[in-house]
Structure 1
Amino acid sequence: MTTITSSGSFGNYDSHQSDSAAAQLRADKWMISGTILMGTAVLGIFGLPMFLWGLHLQIQAAKAGLSVRPVIVTLIGYLVIIDSALNSMGWTLDLFAHHTLINRVLTTGWGALVDGGYFWHYNELWIGGSGAPGEKAWEIALIPVLFCARLAAAIGLLQMKRWGQQWLIVTCWMGVIVWTGYNTNMTIFADVRYAGVVFPVWGWWIYDIWYITPFLSLPYLHTVNREIFSE
């Protein structure tokens, strides 16, 4: 009798794990698709409903008793991916594709609306793109270093890997430094960045509020029980 019960328990456990993995994958397919669209900025309006539907599926799976990823981990992981994708795509276009038609339309249009650094003397430096003081240094330093590391850390976090949690802590603290330094740069060169644009300082802060993910993530990442993550 003991043997039969044990075998049944293992069978139930395997079935539960299989059902949980399938439910998480189903939810992630929607959230990954939505995140990719939101990461392009232009198609974000289509990506948000897809992401929310995937999040709904995960929450429903948790209510059904399946072992899925904690919602807070899901939100942090995907928000970091979106944040990194938006910065990487926008800055990469400015750094390497500043003479393309799409970049001249989108980037200089953005500059005319909110950030004059992408409108003022655009494509007049020897490297091309934004002529704002200090902007190229931020782009060259952060695209290959911070944003690539944050993308990798967020993927690891979504896989519930301990290294993902640890590296996200590191890159979030880097993000705090970058957020502080970049906004200081914007303030010092306000006569370039905010003058002659449609939505000046207040428009920038509405945009910039989305980049406070490090401040929101760090309290959880520092206090969460590390045992929920696997090696």
Structure 2
Amino acid sequence: MNLPTRDRGRRPAPHGPGSRLDEHLETSRLAQHQADRWLISGSLLIGTAALGFFGLPLFLRGVWLLRKAARDGLTVRPMLVTLIGYLVIIDAAINTVGWALDTVANHTLLARVLLNGWGNMFDAGYFWHYNELLIGGAAGPGEKAMEVGMILTVFTMRIAAGIGFLQMKRWGHQWMIITCWMGVLIWCVYVFNMTMYADVRFAGVVLPVVGWWLYDIFYITPFLAIPYLHSVNREIFSD
């Protein structure tokens, strides 16, 4: 039977397994993209430290969307990969923003309020002889070397590794392992530096040693990723 002129050259819409797979993958991609928009927005706000309370609801909304997509049978990124990747990025961003403020924006009103207020509450290293060194900001011994060194190396590397990890790239997984172990070294060095100059950093603050440990616990959370990174099936990550 001849088709009408307007229908010639057209192919009937496919209804086989291939089309259903394509539709499933496209739906999964859109669901993953929608969740990531909320997760990224929340992470950006949490990473500034000052706006963390506004970012947390957005981040939790993204987690809920991702879990809903997984329950609906869509092919989305594993939840553990998502949580570890974003946690590492947030950890690096908080350090980078805080230390960048202290290094290059130490005369701004924002830095004076946040860093001096932080020093008055927890760590007098951000209150003691502020803006009296060649490079302004905190004057605690060892602080400036760690700020400059870590911003230019580990924390930028960690953000890049986290992005690759969330994209399920093998190089992202490998660099997550490297930067998380480097984070263990950083944490040990920083705690030692704090302890050596305890008379400077914990004197006259509202919440001394106990308060510092309460907020510092957050910085050991990327360490919890190390067992997973070493034990996960690496085949789930692609080149």
**TM-score calculated relative to the size of structure 2:** 0.93
- The residue type equivalent to 1:10 in the other structure is G
- The residue type equivalent to 2:213 in the other structure is W
* Deviation, structure 1 residue 144: 1.1
- 1:158 paired to 2:166: yes
- 1:101 paired to 2:104: no
Whichever of the two has the greater Rg, that structure is 2
Matching residue of 1:82: 90
Listed as ranges, the matches of 1:1-231 within 5 Å are 8-231=16-239
* Runs of 4+ more than 6 Å apart: none
Aligned residues: 227
Could you list the runs of 5+ residues in structure 2 that have no partner in the other structure? 1-13
Structure-2 separation of matches of 1:69 and 1:214? 19
Q: SS in structure 1 opposite 2:49?
A: coil
Asked whether the equivalents of residues 31 and 50 of structure 1 are also in contact (C-alpha less than 8 Å), the reply is yes
Structure-2 separation of matches of 1:213 and 1:178? 13
Give CA deviations for 1:135-169 in whole Å, capped at 9, x if unaligned.
Answer: 00001110010000000000001111111000000
Could you list the runs of 5+ residues in structure 1 that have no partner in the other structure? 1-5
* Deviation, structure 1 residue 214: 2.9
Asked whether the equivalents of residues 173 and 214 of structure 1 are also in contact (C-alpha less than 8 Å), the reply is no
* Deviation, structure 1 residue 213: 2.5
Asked whether the equivalents of residues 87 and 222 of structure 2 are also in contact (C-alpha less than 8 Å), the reply is no
Structure-2 separation of matches of 1:78 and 1:68? 15
RMSD of the alignment, in Å? 1.3
* Deviation, structure 1 residue 76: 0.5
- The residue type equivalent to 1:151 in the other structure is I
Structure-2 separation of matches of 1:72 and 1:7? 35
Q: SS in structure 1 opposite 2:16?
A: helix
Structure-2 separation of matches of 1:168 and 1:138? 20
* Deviation, structure 1 residue 99: 1.1
Structure-1 separation of matches of 2:138 and 2:104? 11
* Deviation, structure 1 residue 219: 0.4
Asked whether the equivalents of residues 31 and 55 of structure 1 are also in contact (C-alpha less than 8 Å), the reply is yes
> Percent of aligned positions with the same letter in both sequences?
62
- The residue type equivalent to 1:9 in the other structure is P
